Amino acid sequence: MKILLDDTRRRVLRIILVALLAVFGGLSVSAPALGDSVGEEYSATVFGNVKVDGEPIAGVRIVVDGGGYTAETVTDSDGRWSIGVPEVRNYNVTLDESTLPEGISVLEGGATQEVEFGLTDRVAKNFFIGEGERNETSIFDQIVSRFIYGINFGLMLGLAAVGVSLVFGTTGLSNFSHGEMVTFGAVAALIFGVGLQLPLFIAIPIAVALSAGLGWSLDAGLWRPLRKKGLGIVQLMIVSIGLSLTMRYVIQFVIGGATEQLPGFDSPKINLFGAVALSSTDLMSMGLSIVVIIAFAYWLLRTKTGKATRAISDNPDLAAASGIDVDKVIRIVWIMAASLAGLAGVLWAYFRPGIKWDMGTQILLLIFAAVTLGGLGTAFGALIGALIVGVLVEMSGLIIPADLKYVGALVVLIVVLLVRPQGLLGRKQRVG
């Protein structure tokens, strides 16, 4: 925090992102007049620009090597350099720090960095240089902004996860079709918001209401009859897998295989503080999640149905014996779970962004991770688990490649099962 607030220190650090404009300029203009060039006989070129605070630095030594080829040059009075290379492959570019002015060094990625050619035969390589040793502010800001994205994602995940937890608590079913209930909400919002062109403040409530209807009809048409039939828990679990497959492909049947967007998914980001930039939909999504979660907590803790739900989770037989209509409560739990899942689906469609028929399978495992982390069957455990998983997924992007960010959450899931299988808030007897 001190670093962020201390203005003088910030000025001393003066981190410079070296003119990105030059990169795009270099790509679009066919042959920009570059200062000192070597290897002009080759068609492929690596080039760059060395500047500190917008001031070009001349006489900086740059070395390119790779594939048995080495060439070096020094920057001209405009700070520019360009080196021709014989083939389009990866090269190592080294900036000789001893040729930089006193107190100036490469701040990020080290003095030797790799370049990779894209679709053209020209590639730009610029170094982050400036005074000071490390790029502290930037990393700190990154952590803060990732943390806030993570909270946003976690809140949304929490909406989906409490449903799984409630259903598990009251019926013992690990519902594999919950992911499709999430997708259903997003698809309903898509049909009404984009297909029928209704404004979002009408389309989203309709989507949530339809999700509630889905929950009601699934319980009335499927789960309740199966409970009456006396199906075992494993059988029910496999039925939920069949249901998940059915719903997933019905959704693909309806909306096709492409990714669709809800209106306003690309609303501009607003700079809040530091490097934290959130769009208005992000802010609304977080606000909405918090309001709904508080309302849900009130329902679970204070209302009669909420208390009955917790009683059934504790001991269904005792609850039934004390006059609670178990079937009615389970019906309400399904409606609740489905509408929260539907809302989560809409929010997730904005967060990803995009709606795709198989998006539910992706989130199902994160929901399971959240629920297991918090403790199967505990609603507030699921919320805490979801926040942890959300933050973890977003923060892990700082360390591991972005396409592996869900792996971190899934590994945590397995580690949790190893050290504390009952989860954070779960009770020990739940372990078999």
Partner 1 sequence: MDWGSILNNTLAGFLTPTTIAFALAALGLAMHFGFAGLLNFGIAGFMAIGGYGYAISVLTFGLPWWAGMLVGVLGSVVFALILGIPTLRLRGDYLAIATIAAAEIARLLFLTTAFTDVTGSADGLFGFNSRPDGSGFQNSNPIPQGTYGFGPFTYNEQTLWVLVFGLIVLTVAVWFLWALMRSPWGRVIKGIREDEEAVRSLGKNVFAYKLQALVIGGVFGALGGIIYTAAQNISPGVYVTSLTFFIWTSLLLGGAATIFGPVIGAVIFWVIQAFLSNLLPALSTSGILPVSTTQASTLRFVLVGIGLMLLVIYRPQGIFGDKRELTFVK
Residue 10 interacts with partner 1 (CB under 8 A): yes or no: no
Residue 425 interacts with partner 1 (CB under 8 A): yes or no: no
Which whole-number Å values give the CA distances from 358 to 99, 179, 247, in the listed order?
Answer: 54, 9, 10
The runs of H, that is alpha helices, within 172-199 are 178-190
User: Which of 257, 317, 323, 399 is close enough to bind partner 1 by CB under 8 A?
Assistant: 257
Residue 256 interacts with partner 1 (CB under 8 A): yes or no: yes
Residue 288 interacts with partner 1 (CB under 8 A): yes or no: no
Q: How far apart are the first and last CA of the chain?
A: 46
Which whole-number Å values give the CA distances from 310 to 174, 296, 317, in the listed order?
Answer: 17, 13, 13
User: Which of 82, 211, 372, 378 is close enough to bind partner 1 by CB under 8 A?
Assistant: 372
- Of 224, 377, 366, 239, whose CA–CA distance to 314 is shortest? 377
Using CA atoms, how far apart are residues 65 and 413, in angstroms rounded to an integer? 44
Residue 320 interacts with partner 1 (CB under 8 A): yes or no: no
Q: Residue 62 in contact with residue 83, Cβ under 8 Å?
A: yes
User: Which of 252, 259, 279, 305 is close enough to bind partner 1 by CB under 8 A?
Assistant: 252
Chain centroid to Cα 301, Å, comes to 31
**Distance of closest approach, residue 162 Cβ to partner 1, in angstroms:** 17
Amino acid occupying residue 5: L
Q: Residue 382 in contact with residue 162, Cβ under 8 Å?
A: yes
Give me the 128-167 binding string for partner 1, x by CB under 8 A, dash otherwise. ----------------------------------------
DSSP class per residue in 51-103: EETTEE--S-EEEEEETTEEEEEE--TTSEEEEEESSSS-EEEEE-GGGSPTT
Q: Which stretch binds partner 1 (CB under 8 A): 32-40, 106-114, 188-196, 235-243?
A: 235-243
**Distance of closest approach, residue 358 Cβ to partner 1, in angstroms:** 8
Residue 389 interacts with partner 1 (CB under 8 A): yes or no: no
Nearer to partner 1, 49 or 174 (CB): 174
**Distance of closest approach, residue 310 Cβ to partner 1, in angstroms:** 21
Q: Which stretch binds partner 1 (CB under 8 A): 188-196, 230-238, 274-282, 329-337?
A: 230-238
Residues in CB range of 303: below 8 A, 6 or more apart: none
**Distance of closest approach, residue 233 Cβ to partner 1, in angstroms:** 7
Q: Which stretch binds partner 1 (CB under 8 A): 92-100, 104-112, 301-309, 365-373?
A: 365-373
Nearer to partner 1, 103 or 257 (CB): 257
User: Which of 1, 5, 31, 234 is close enough to bind partner 1 by CB under 8 A?
Assistant: 234
Kindly state the DSSP code that residue 195 receives in the 8-state scheme.
I
Q: Residue 73 in contact with residue 49, Cβ under 8 Å?
A: no
Nearer to partner 1, 369 or 384 (CB): 369
Q: With H, G, I as helix, E, B as strand and everything else as coil, classify residue 121.
A: coil
Scan residues 168-207 and list those touching partner 1 (CB under 8 A).
174
Pairing of strands 36-38, 80-85: parallel
Using CA atoms, how far apart are residues 18 and 261, in angstroms rounded to an integer? 35
**Distance of closest approach, residue 14 Cβ to partner 1, in angstroms:** 33
Residue 258 interacts with partner 1 (CB under 8 A): yes or no: no
Q: With H, G, I as helix, E, B as strand and everything else as coil, classify residue 271.
A: strand
Positions touching partner 1 (CB under 8 A) are 174, 226, 229-235, 237-239, 241-250, 252-253, 256-257, 361, 365, 368-369, 372, 376, 400-401, 403-404, 406-407, 410-411, 413-415, 417-418, 421, 430-432
